[in-house]
Amino acid sequence: MAGTFQVAPRHRLVSHFQIPLNKLITHSAAYFVFLALVFYISNQDKTRQKRGPPNTGAEAPVILYVCGYVWSAVRMCVTQGPRRYFSESWNIFDVTMLMLFGVTFALWVAAARDVAINDEEEMERKYWDQYNPTLLAEGTFCLATILAYFRLMLLCQLNYHLGPLQVSLGKMTVDIYKYLTVFAIIISAFAAGLTRFYQYYDGMVYEDEAGMKTVQVSSFTSLSDTLNTLFWALFCMAPLESADVILENRSLRDKAHRNRHTYTERIGYFCFGIFEVISVIVVLNMLIATMSNTFQRVINNVNTEWTFGRTEVYLNYISQTTLPSPYNLIPTASGVKGVVEWLCAKTRRQKGARVPLSCSQTSDTETDIEAPVQKEYAVLMSVLVQRYFRDKESESSCGGVEGEIETLRRELTAIRTAALPLPLPQHAPQRACACAPAAARAAPSEKSLRVRNKSFILSISMEEMEELEEKGPQKEQKEESLSKNSASHGLAFGEMP
């Protein structure tokens, strides 16, 4: 495949592997091979190991793989810009892993040089110096291997069930970072007070009459011991005798009388107990509650979170090279063309071409858009804006009709409630006689107008309102219905006795 990229960069096979999903498959397969080589080096027998770098035969492929990943990281950092590149947590993770591998390779070279100069390759391991390059290389390689395998969590974002869990884990890590500051302040406060508080008693042994010996625990004898004790106390792994004060016997013969520094011991127990209450019972449970809340928020919005996480993975592989590491170290035609264009735009300053180089901008070659493309872009944006406002207008119109219906319903309910307790007339009204003046019959009184208005409003039943709401009437239809009801009730009112 690498040869095809060199000979025929426009071949359909090349276009096939440029699809983001195929990039993901090829890069993942190459990464699994890299993990297998790393595990093979890490799983070597240490009993017969000699001084110097390991000699398993897999070191050269691992170095090539790491160089390919370094080139990919540098390329992404240049094209995206440092600020955008380091805004992603996984990019910071990759840089840390590659730095640990780089330090390991440097220590391998230092170990080989040490063996070549001192010629002590056959020295037994227990006689090595604690800062021997071989021992340091083993430690850094151990950390790099852990990070390399932990990077498989990125692929979990592609799965519907594992993706939300991985997103929750990332957000919980942010919560842990926040609470680390609180824990650091608490531990520093107690460490400052308890450091060297028991220094005088360090190493003392008390022997009772039965010959049982009690040794002073190195808990608060130095700054390092104090920090170690307080840290492991967060996980309830500190010994219970951490605050005990042990005094040695006054003489070898006098074992019946034991001297006690009770006040010092009680101060130590008091401080140690307060630390446990504040850090374990309060702050640690607050951290657990915060992490549970974060996990619940992700689960409540699981579809959006998973889709967003999966899209991040696809976008990451879209920007990657088509060939995985270490084949990305081989120059391709498209890669060479991009580098040449970048150099020409940077040095010759071609018209219409720009190469921004800053911490916040990308460093790709930017060219001016042609006139037809600019015109099509303006038309497209105009259509999108019109569609947006049209959708918003339709939503607002539907919401306005529903709001008017709901307001009218509330008003009718209030008026009906106010009109129900009206007392009925004790005597039926007399029918107007024919001899009465026409003006008296034509001009209704204020009381009759008020009763007529109430009868007109109460005639609109709740069933009619529900029917209007289901059919979604327009404002003109509603006014027409009300006018018809008014006319009908006016005729009925005229016939009332």
Q: What is the pLDDT of residue 470?
A: 54
Nearest to 187 by CA among 242, 229, 217, 238: 229
φ/ψ (deg, to 5) at 207? -120, 125
Domain ranges of the chain: 2-158, 186-300, 333-369
Which amino acid type is present at position 492? A
pLDDT in tens, the chain (497 residues): 556 666 566 667 777 777 878 888 889 999 999 999 999 999 888 877 788 888 888 999 999 999 999 999 998 888 888 888 888 888 999 999 999 999 999 999 999 898 888 877 778 888 888 888 989 999 999 999 999 999 998 888 888 888 888 888 888 888 898 899 999 999 999 999 988 888 888 888 888 777 788 888 888 888 888 999 999 988 888 888 888 888 877 765 666 566 788 888 899 999 999 999 999 899 999 999 999 998 888 888 887 878 888 888 888 888 888 788 888 888 776 667 777 776 776 666 555 555 555 544 444 555 555 556 667 777 888 888 888 888 877 766 655 566 667 777 877 887 777 766 545 444 444 444 444 444 444 444 444 444 444 444 444 445 555 554 555 545 445 455 545 544 444 433 344 33
How far apart are alpha carbons 283 and 273 in whole angstroms?
14
How far apart are alpha carbons 98 and 73 in whole angstroms?
9
The answer to whether the CB of 83 falls within 8 A of the CB of 360 is: yes
- Report how far apart, in Å, the C-alpha atoms of 423 and of each of 162, 418, 420, 449 are: 71, 12, 9, 17
The answer to whether the CB of 260 falls within 8 A of the CB of 245 is: yes
Whether residue 326 has a cis bond before it, omega within 30° of 0: yes
Residue with tokens 């540098």: 74
The answer to whether the CB of 412 falls within 8 A of the CB of 404 is: no
φ/ψ (deg, to 5) at 215? -105, 140
Question: What is the torsion angle, in degrees rounded to the nearest 10, for the CA atoms of residue 336, residue 340, residue 343 and residue 347?
Answer: 160
Q: DSSP class of residue 329? A: G
Q: What is the pLDDT of residue 67?
A: 94
Residue with tokens 């009801």: 485
The answer to whether the CB of 81 falls within 8 A of the CB of 145 is: no
Which residues lie below 8 Å from residue 94, measured CB to CB, with a gap of 6+? 69, 73, 151
Q: What is the pLDDT of residue 68?
A: 93
Q: What is the pLDDT of residue 274?
A: 93
Q: DSSP class of residue 1? A: -
The DSSP line for 190-223 is HHHHHTTTTGGGTT-EEE-TT--EEE---SSSSH
How far apart are alpha carbons 252 and 213 in whole angstroms?
13
How far apart are alpha carbons 224 and 226 in whole angstroms?
5
Its pTM stands at 0.63
Q: Is 42 in a helix, a strand, or coil?
A: helix
